[in-house]
Amino acid sequence: MPKGEMHRDRRSRNLALAGVLAALAVLFFLVTIVKMAGQG
């Protein structure tokens, strides 16, 4: 397996992980907003 291919695979995995983390952060943010809106 060429070195460049391995690097690209790792980068795509990092991007996927970053995307999942960002989605979780947004989801948490939205849930917090909805809870606060429900209380007020």
pLDDT in tens, 6-34: 888 899 999 999 999 999 999 999 999 99
Distance CA 14, CA 19 (A): 9
Q: Which of 23, 15, 18 has the alpha carbon at shortest distance from 7? A: 15
Q: Which of 21, 29, 10, 6 has the alpha carbon at shortest distance from 37? A: 29
Distance CA 11, CA 9 (A): 5
The pair phi, psi for residue 26, each rounded to 5°, is -65, -45
Whole-prediction pTM value?
0.66
| Token pair in block for residue 21 | 């983390």
pLDDT value of residue 40: 67
Q: Could you give the number of structural domains in the chain?
A: 1
Q: Domain of 22?
A: 1-40
pLDDT value of residue 1: 65
